[in-house]
Structure 1
Amino acid sequence: MRRNKQPKAELTSDAEIKAPKLYKRASYCAATQRWWDTWASSPQAEVFMATDWERLQQLAVIVEQYWQTGDKNLMAEIRLNEERLGATVRDRQSLRMSYKESDTKKAERPSDSPSALPENVTRLRDAFGT
């Protein structure tokens, strides 16, 4: 048995997330507010601690500056911080986070029949015959 095995965080879609409000929200543009709301409602937010939320509060200032200036250096800093919080699938894999959809959410999802897809969506297996 490995002694240095890393713990795994299993995220669910039914968890109650108590996200703090974005400090001075009204002073931020709509894009920054949307960024905050996305993080605040993300499955990984269920495991955030006060220090994680503080990191996002500080990062909101940089996100706002990015939207105002488009500075690529700011985007690099944002990307680095978001990576550490599990922003992308790859980031979550590195952090050993997994997402388990609850039975309630599965029941709410449309069936697997082609008629359940929006008109402008084609399944890859139908398009490429896989």
Structure 2
Amino acid sequence: MAMKIAIVLGVMMTVALAVPAQPAAGGWGWGGGGWVGGAAANPWIPPWVSVAPWYPQWTPCTAIGSTCLDCNTKLVCTKIGGLQRACTDPTLPFCNMGECSATPSAECAVPAVNNPPELTA
């Protein structure tokens, strides 16, 4: 029984320490009744987790579907917003036609080097 109480206290302390401190704007406490500054930062997710490259980032978008933001990042748009994901799989590092792929798109491919005419004699 004492071990269960110790485990519960340890979990409670871990959760309490993981919640970032919020300034009491407007005297409401806990961030003034909402997230500070209206930012899309979740107060229950530690900042060191939310800025990690493997953690998905929410972004606004209008069209539903999947597109590429750059050569290594895709944007999946849903009805409630867009989810920006990096292509972190080493076997599928490129974004091609809205999906993580092993082959880069035409815009991201390395251009082929043509032999100059003086070397082809």
Question: Greater helix percent: which structure?
Answer: 1
Give the TM-score category using the shorter length. under 0.3
TM-score normalised per structure 1:
0.22
TM-score normalised per structure 2:
0.23
